[in-house]
Amino acid sequence: MNPVQTRRLTQEMADTYQRALTGGPFYAASWLLVGIYGNAFARAPVLSWGLLLAFIGLTVWRFLHRPLPEGSEVPAIARWLRLHWGIVLLTTALWGGLFCWATLDAGFGPARVTALLFTLGLATAIAHAFSMRRGFAFAGIALLCVPGLLLLWINPEDRPNGLMMVIYLVYVVISLLRSYAEYQQRLDLDQELRNQRDLFSRQSRIDALTELANRRQFADVLETAARQAWDSGQALSLLLLDIDHFKQINDTHGHAIGDACLMAIAARLKNSFNEPGDLAARVGGEEFGVVLQGQDLASAMQRAERFRAGLIEHPIAADGIVLNVTASIGIAEFDSSLHQDDDALYQAADSAIYRAKAAGRNRVCCDEPALASINHAL
């Protein structure tokens, strides 16, 4: 399912509903005026009241046929649009027949001109309000005007009105085409603004160099995960990784090679930590973090050790330069008796990194309370 097509059809559905609501009552009001001043309710009460009830019923149907909920699929929206346009076209066909009656029946007297003016007004309304679908709009205007126009043209006395109607309908058609183009441009602009908003939202949460989550996204996910772990008791581990002696890489090979190294580390993190509940992020400089939801300490340490060993077994190559990169990794598991929030968990993992560095770097360490509990269990 194309999300862009879905959004455009959803917008069209909402616009069609709102605009149809506005136009529906005017058919009933217009017929009341034409019928009363044309003495139709006295001369043909059954037909006249029947037409009025039909217009009212179609207006109510427009109101009751509400748009589908957000997230509906394209075929369902397309069916909704066809039905709603069917209601509109049925209304215009009914008015077209009424206009023919007023044109043929001299008993309407001056109200025949009133019916003509209302017909042109309703055609104009369709051209402007329902321009989102040219085919349906042209059909609506044709049902309103063409049968009565043919009758006006056949009668020599009414031919001036018929000629005036033709000239005005040329204007209506031009207006419809212009309104259609403007509506499509509006949808295009809405989509472009949505794309820009999505892009800005993504850029605000993605690190530009590595294309991992940035610190903001990392902090939001960690906070939510820690809250869920506190409430549900679900396992949660945090991995912090620092590239050893990264400054030497920049000083020796330049920042371009340093950036290439960071991107290579990021790519490996994506491949190594891609299970549901994992989030790899660049949290600053040469420091990376991985949120491991649903992972206990033992599992997190195994995965971290595999990643650390992989760096040694497969050195990073950047622009023909082979970099023997190692990493110090600190891990902490959320424990509601030790960690009140995500900040406490982060501090525990950060302390574990310092323990790894103090012990000689290129190793995986967990925070001391967790280590003490493991030793106690052993």
Is residue 42 a part of any domain in this protein? yes
Chunked into runs of 10 residues, the chain (378 residues) has average pLDDT values of 80 92 92 96 96 96 94 91 96 96 94 95 93 92 95 92 94 93 88 79 83 92 93 93 93 92 94 93 94 94 95 90 93 90 93 93 83 46
Query: Cβ contacts of residue 162 below 8 Å, gap of 6+?
Result: 149, 152, 153
Residues 308 and 169 in one domain: no
Half-sphere exposure of 187 (CA within 13 A, CB side): 20
Q: Which of 232, 218, 326 is nearest to 279 (CA)?
A: 218
Residues 9 and 84 in one domain: yes
Q: Would you say 116 and 161 are in contact if contact means Cβ atoms under 8 Å apart?
A: yes
Is residue 316 a part of any domain in this protein? yes
Q: Decide which of 200, 226, 251 is a domain's last residue.
A: 200
Q: Decide which of 174, 200, 226 is a domain's last residue.
A: 200
217 burial type by CB count under 10 A (0-12 exposed, 13-18 middle, 19+ buried):
middle
Residues 120 and 226 in one domain: no
What local confidence, expressed as pLDDT, does residue 1 receive?
Answer: 53
Kindly report the pTM of this predicted structure.
0.62
Q: 242: how many CB neighbours lie within 10 A of its CB?
A: 21
Residues 105 and 238 in one domain: no
Residues 155 and 258 in one domain: no
Is residue 210 a part of any domain in this protein? no
What local confidence, expressed as pLDDT, does residue 337 receive?
Answer: 86
Residues 272 and 160 in one domain: no
Read off the CATH number of the domain in which 261 is found. 3.30.70.270
Q: Would you say 327 and 362 are in contact if contact means Cβ atoms under 8 Å apart?
A: yes
Residues 194 and 274 in one domain: no
What local confidence, expressed as pLDDT, does residue 369 receive?
Answer: 62
Residues 134 and 243 in one domain: no
Residues 154 and 96 in one domain: yes
CA distance 8 to 94: 30
Residues 94 and 169 in one domain: yes
Residues 65 and 167 in one domain: yes
- Full domain range(s) for residue 196: 3-200
Q: Decide which of 148, 171, 200 is a domain's last residue.
A: 200
What local confidence, expressed as pLDDT, does residue 378 receive?
Answer: 39
Query: Cβ contacts of residue 174 below 8 Å, gap of 6+?
Result: none
**CA distances in angstroms from 277 to 47, 273, 291, 329, 370, listed in the order given:** 68, 9, 8, 19, 22
Is residue 140 a part of any domain in this protein? yes
Is residue 208 a part of any domain in this protein? no
Is residue 205 a part of any domain in this protein? no
Is residue 12 a part of any domain in this protein? yes
Is residue 114 a part of any domain in this protein? yes
What local confidence, expressed as pLDDT, does residue 204 receive?
Answer: 77
Residues 44 and 135 in one domain: yes
Domain count along the chain: 2
